[in-house]
Each structure stands twice: as C-alpha cells, then as structure tokens.
Structure 1
Amino acid sequence: MAQVKICGLSQPADVAAAVDSGARYVGFVFYPKSPRAVTAGQARRLGADLPPGVARVGLFVNPDDAMLEATLAQAPLDMIQLHGKESPERVAQVKALTGLPVMKAVGIAVPDDLGALTDYGLVADMLLVDAKAPPEADLPGGNGLAFDWRLLVGRRWLRPWLLAGGLTPLNVAEAIRLTGAPGVDVSSGVETAPGVKDAALIRDFIAASR
C-alpha cells in the first residue's frame, strides 16, 4: 500500500479529511510566495492532536537557520522538506541543526536529472521525486506538472521516496503501477483552485492510491 502525503494544507477540515482517509504525512508550506503558505502559528494549530502514525512535514525553500529555528519554536514538526536549491551539504546542515529527518525534493525532466537522486540519497532521509519546475515558474513545486514516469521504471535509490508532480485521483493508480513508487505526494491535484483543497478529492486520491 502506497503511503500518501497531502501537502499544502491550510484548513482544519482538510487536515481532518487527509487523516481520516489514511494519509501518512500532512504537509504545511512555509514559503511566502505560495498560495498554500501558512504561518508557524497556523501550522501549530493544524498539526495539533494528530493520531499516532501521522507525520507533520514542514516544506521550506532555501531556508536560512534563523527561519528554521523560528518556525520550529512555534510549530512542532516531525520532518523537514527542502524544496529549493539546497545542496547535499546544506541538507546535512539542516539535519544537524534541527535534529529532524529531512526529505529532499528533486526535480526531474530528463534522464540526466536522475543523478541528483543518488547524490541526495547519501544525506537525506527521504526523497521526493517531483516534476522540474519550468524556468519561469514562481513556485518550485505544486504547479500541477507531471514528468515522464517511464524515467523511473526499474530505478532504486538508497532512501525511501515519494512520487510527486501532476498527480490526481484519476492518474495516481497508474503512476504507482508504472513506477513502483512506495509513496505519493499531492497538492494541486486535490484542489479546486490554487491553495483551496477539496475534501472529496483528498479522499478520492487516497482511495485511488490503494
């Protein structure tokens, strides 16, 4: 059974829908440019009283130490997701600073991009295999773009990984079947507008992933 991460949550009802439907991870975005961004205080309230086995993941884009420390002082998290241009060395620094496991997002568009997954697999605790954002994009992820999943067929890495990028309730089962992904991550694919999650789509996505 594929593990599911619902990212970009900002409303209590959507967190409840994700948890009740069996999500393993709930994601909170700490990137001001994103329509899904929340404050540390909002994330603390959204992540309160989660049942055992559901991890709170904080998504950051090229954060400095001060931002990480300030956020964690207010919002308890179980994992850090780095979704910017952080180097493998920076991933190791963030792990040491926060004492938390780190998930590193890696954008994929062409076969040459796959090498980065090996490099980050040496330092990250988990990998997020995402579609590479186009050069003109304001956001590094959550753009609703997919990549050629056939690039991942037969591939294995040192760390657990989640597949992301353009996933929806309609295509997630095929994506898992084709890639063998042990888990999936969705944000825009369960929205009716940027940043507006739909509880029914969340439930449908998690059901389809199984």
Structure 2
Amino acid sequence: MTLEIKICGLSTAVGLDAAITAGADLAGLVVFPPSPRHVDLAAGRALAARARGRIAIVALTVDADDALLGDIVAEIVPDILQLHGRESPARVAAVRARFGRPVMKALPVATAADLAVVPAYAAVADRLLFDAKAPKDATRPGGLGQPFDWHLLERLDPGLAFMLSGGLDAANVAEALRITAAPAVDVSSGVEQAPGDKNPDKIAAFVRAAREAAAALPLP
C-alpha cells in the first residue's frame, strides 16, 4: 500500500532536514504557545522557506481565530491547515472556505462513541486525523505520546481519508498499520529525545519501519 508519513512538531532546521532526508511526506509546524514544539510566525516562516518544494508543509493550530489563521497563511504559506482543537464542523468548513487551503481536522479518540462525529467532519474536512484523547487535566490536546485502541478504527469506511496519530514510534507502527490499514501516519514525540527535540536517527528509523510495514500489507 502507498503510505504518507508526517513528522509533526518540527521546530529546528536539523529536525526538518532529517524528516526530508528520511523521505517523509509532510512536515508539521505547531503554532500553539502551550506546546513545547511551538514555533512563532518568524520561525515558522523560516522553516517553511527551507521546506518549500521539498516536503508538504502542515501548520497546526488549536482553536485559532481568523486573525491568527490569516497570519499563518500569509507568513508560513502552508499547504495544509491542521485544526487540532474543538473546532465544530461548521468552523472547519468556514476555515476551508475563507483561507483556500485543504484542512485536516484532528479528532480525539478513547472509545467507540468518539467516532460518532466522523461523518459530520468527513463531510467538510479534506482529511481526518485520529489522535488519542488527552487526559482530563491536560493543558493541551492530543495523546501526549500515548496510543489509543487502534481496533476502534477497524470498521471505518475504507474510502475515508484519514491519518493515524497518537503514541506511534518505530517499534509499534507496523502493528498500528496492520490493524488500521491507515493511509497515512503522524509521529511527534515518538521521534524525540526530549519534548520538542527531534532525533534524526529516530526519524529515519520511524520512516523506514513505516515504509517496510506498508509494503508488506496487501493492497486494498
């Protein structure tokens, strides 16, 4: 199967170059100050300029207003906007229409009930990203390095455009792909040596493991 790989939370030229060298398809830049992977607009602009034409650029935000999204589009010029907060389907549709960029909407998953919103979001987003639901006391969204039960995704519409995230690393990505047949995977903390500090060797190992696992899966 063909697989897309996103390395998210890139904040340095070293990490970005490692993702490109390893053969990743998408580079995620986080514009959200509470995150240890946050890049401000100036840093994001510099990284995007370094990445452009070499890898697709994804700008991740959390419940951003139109003013911030406008600044991100103007300064970073991302290929994709990733909405990782509590944005409603209507908000997703509005962002997509206003800014003329493909939109990927992250959905937190802990139980089967969390998937009830999939049809509403799939109707307005270009792609969904399934991530582990954050703990109740978390200060930011996402699984914070923890996976969720991948078997919850076994009954998804096989034509759904989605990306799998949450606790992935080189050691478990093959099992995640075997269970979910995800067309794309996203990793952040799984390729770090410390929060926000990407490890080039871990990036290379993750991309290699994911590619090998995808190649071993039967075609859909």
Normalised to the residue count of structure 1, the TM-score between the two structures is 0.96
Alpha-carbon RMSD across the aligned residues, in angstroms, is 1.3
Give yes or no for contact 1:9–1:28 (8 Å, CA) kept in 2.
Answer: yes
Q: For residues 8-59 of structure 1, what are the alpha-carbon distances to aligned partners after superposition, in whole Å with 9 as ceiling and x for unaligned? A: 0001011111011111110000001000000111111112143646210000
Percentage of matched positions with identical amino acids: 48
Alignment-derived partner of residue 67 in structure 2 = 66
Give yes or no for contact 1:122–1:158 (8 Å, CA) kept in 2.
Answer: no
* 2:86 alignment partner AA: K
* 1:197 alignment partner AA: K
Give yes or no for contact 1:121–1:157 (8 Å, CA) kept in 2.
Answer: no
Alignment-derived partner of residue 200 in structure 1 = 201
Structure 1: any 5+ residue segments left out of the alignment? none
Give yes or no for contact 1:118–1:158 (8 Å, CA) kept in 2.
Answer: no
**CA 1:165/1:208 → structure 2, altered by over 3 Å: closer, same or farther?**
same
Shift of 1:158: 5.5
Shift of 1:142: 5.5
* 2:11 alignment partner AA: S
Alignment-derived partner of residue 56 in structure 1 = 57
**CA 1:90/1:157 → structure 2, altered by over 3 Å: closer, same or farther?**
farther
**CA 1:105/1:155 → structure 2, altered by over 3 Å: closer, same or farther?**
same
Pair 1:134-2:174 in alignment: no
Shift of 1:188: 0.6
Pair 1:146-2:147 in alignment: yes
Give yes or no for contact 2:29–2:38 (8 Å, CA) kept in 1.
Answer: yes
| Matches of 1:156 and 1:53, distance apart in 2 | 31
Alignment: residue pair count: 210
Alignment-derived partner of residue 107 in structure 2 = 106
Alignment-derived partner of residue 192 in structure 2 = 191
- Range with bigger deviation, 24-33 or 52-61: 52-61
Q: Which segments of structure 1 move beyond 4 Å, counting only runs of 4 or more? A: none
Give yes or no for contact 2:132–2:143 (8 Å, CA) kept in 1.
Answer: no
Structure 2: any 5+ residue segments left out of the alignment? 212-220
Give yes or no for contact 1:62–1:86 (8 Å, CA) kept in 2.
Answer: yes
Alignment-derived partner of residue 179 in structure 2 = 178
Pair 1:22-2:23 in alignment: yes
| Matches of 2:140 and 2:82, distance apart in 1 | 15
| Matches of 1:142 and 1:82, distance apart in 2 | 15
Give secondary structure in 1 for the equivalent of 2:98. Answer: helix
Give yes or no for contact 1:121–1:158 (8 Å, CA) kept in 2.
Answer: no
Alignment-derived partner of residue 83 in structure 1 = 84
Give secondary structure in 2 for the equivalent of 1:94. Answer: helix
Give secondary structure in 2 for the equivalent of 1:48. Answer: helix
| Matches of 1:101 and 1:65, distance apart in 2 | 16
Pair 1:95-2:96 in alignment: yes
**CA 1:86/1:166 → structure 2, altered by over 3 Å: closer, same or farther?**
same
**CA 1:161/1:39 → structure 2, altered by over 3 Å: closer, same or farther?**
same
Give yes or no for contact 1:82–1:103 (8 Å, CA) kept in 2.
Answer: yes
